[in-house]
Amino acid sequence: DSRLFKQEYVDKAERVFVRFGPAKAIVLARFIPIVRTFLNPVAGVLRVPARKFFVWNLVGGLVWTDGALLAGYYLAKQILKLIPPDQIDIYLLPAIVLIILISMIPIFVEVYRSRRERRHATAAAQEVGQR
């Protein structure tokens, strides 16, 4: 186990695979954040034929991409009903900045934790060396 690669993630991906079968699991994996990352290697370990994997991965990618595009299109239409087009930047840019900042929080937390662990490990090693 490491910070990013944990056995529980692989187990979760395998459970999705077994529960739904290869085709549904590959398509659904696009919509489940942790499973999305680990399903591909699990598919290889479970010997899903490459052709089958490719086809269903393509289908999942198309559904994911088209779904995101359509959601963005309809969301934009709704926003433009509320906010005049010439004022959209006043509201949209701060929202984008906020989303980016919120998205970066896990990175900052991880950097803080690893630095803290490194400091504690260094302090412990120095303590042992002084004895």
> pLDDT tens digit string along 35-86?
788 788 888 888 889 999 999 999 999 999 999 999 999 998 998 898 888 8
Is the entire prediction scored with pTM above 0.85?
A: no
> What is the DSSP secondary structure assignment for residue 19, as one 8-state letter?
H
Residue 33 has pLDDT above 80, yes or no: no
If you average pLDDT over every residue of the chain, what do you get? 86
**Distance (Å, rounded) from C-alpha 52 to C-alpha 23?**
8
Domain residue spans in the chain?
A: 1-82, 84-131
- What is the per-residue DSSP string for 29-98? HTTSHHHHHHHHHHHHHTT--HHHHHHHHHHHHHHHHHHHHHHHHHHHHHHHHHS-GGGHHHHHHHHHHH
Residues found in the chain: 131
Q: What's the pLDDT at 48?
A: 87
Query: Is the per-residue pLDDT at 5 higher than 80?
Result: no
Percent pLDDT > 90 in the chain is: 34
60-80: burial string, b at 16+ Cβ within 10 Å, e else: beeeeeeeeeeeeeeeeeeee
The mean pLDDT of 19-39, rounded to a whole number, is 83
Q: Tell me the C-alpha distance between 27 and 89, whole Å.
A: 36
Question: For residue 130, what pLDDT is reported?
Answer: 73
With a pLDDT cut of 70, the percent of the chain lying above it is: 95
